[in-house]
Amino acid sequence: MLKFTSNEIRDIIISMVVISFIFAHVLRGGNLTNTISFMPATFLMVGLGFMLHELAHKYVAIRYGYWAEYKMWIQGLIFALIIVFLTGFAFIAPGAVYIHGNYIKNNENGKISLAGPSTNIILALLFLLFTPLFSDLEIVRFAILGAIVNSFLAVFNLIPLGMFDGAKIFRWNPLIWVAAMATALILWAKSSGII
């Protein structure tokens, strides 16, 4: 069963607000008024994608018998805000689920790491599959936003460097990493209108 500390709930909420602002800022071309008015939509989409991503890591870690807790990274949030204001690019590093145990096996760590991006891939796919079912243009735009945000979160987290999920997945199984990254890139390109 998933349990959360008060610090963990606070960290998740702060992280959600900051990355919602960043996505709204990028998607609305840097106009502050448009950014603020668009934040409820990005909060829902980023909140859904971000929170389920982190919960997936936590859930799988707990299933393996490890202690897991989300902690925000204040420097990462500040850096993300600076980057978006200077470049208009969304660099997302709000924090991570920290996992503790006596010995975390490579395959367990790979599966725990894969849980987050896989959640975003599934959400992006669902948003894209359901988009043609709606005739209301606002709902269609909202669904496309959900696909863009979740596919971007998957691609970003699958970068195979440092402490990113992608590095742990790649060390565990490079073929699974390639399949996950290829799927996330295709979904990102499709939802962004590139293909």
Query: Which are the catalytic amino acids?
Result: 54
**Cα–Cα distances in angstroms (integers) from residue 188 to residues 52, 54, 95, in the given order:** 18, 20, 22
Token code pair at residue 53: 């991503």
Gap between the Cα atoms of 190 and 79, Å rounded: 29
CB 76 within 8 A of CB 95: yes
Q: Are 94 and 73 in contact (CB under 8 A)?
A: yes
Nearest-5° Cα angle at 153, 149 to 155: 120
Task: For residue 118, give the 3-state DSSP assignment.
Answer: helix
The token pair that represents 47 in the structure block: 């909140």
